[in-house]
Structure 1
């Protein structure tokens, strides 16, 4: 089921990264490429950011740079569309190591 949820991140200069139910626009050295959800190998979410892994690339999206939308909506949308989605909490790992 397609959703109307979307998100936009502030980028360098006037550039923004966009995400929707169709995929994510990721910055590359020569501009922006649209990456469909099916091309993502995995997504890792931490307290502060999202790591989107596709091909031989990783795109880092900081939650604090979100310009439109809600990180929780983006998280839900990505988890619904990408099989390998992991939430990592470093605070829990730190406590376990003590």
Structure 2
């Protein structure tokens, strides 16, 4: 089983992606979207409660919220790990995953 990873950063949205690059972009989009901001899909994204938490607590909550959201909205992957790096009070999640069809 091949393991991939994606860093949730400021990579710009690209159109026309396919395969693993499309999946990575979808994961970035899921985690960068604040729940309630997507019209017609208000439950999409991450709960905004993480925003106002102290950094260590926010990192832990972000891991849980990201795992839950990815499992719901990107069903082609199985998340194997999520590491939240802290850079000057900025949370930078790295998601490790495998494709479900490769299991």
Whether TM exceeds 0.5 here: the answer is no
Q: TM-score, normalised by structure 1?
A: 0.29
Q: TM-score, normalised by structure 2?
A: 0.28
Structure having the larger proportion of residues in strand:
1
Q: Highest relative contact order (Cα 8 Å, sep 6+), 1 or 2?
A: 2
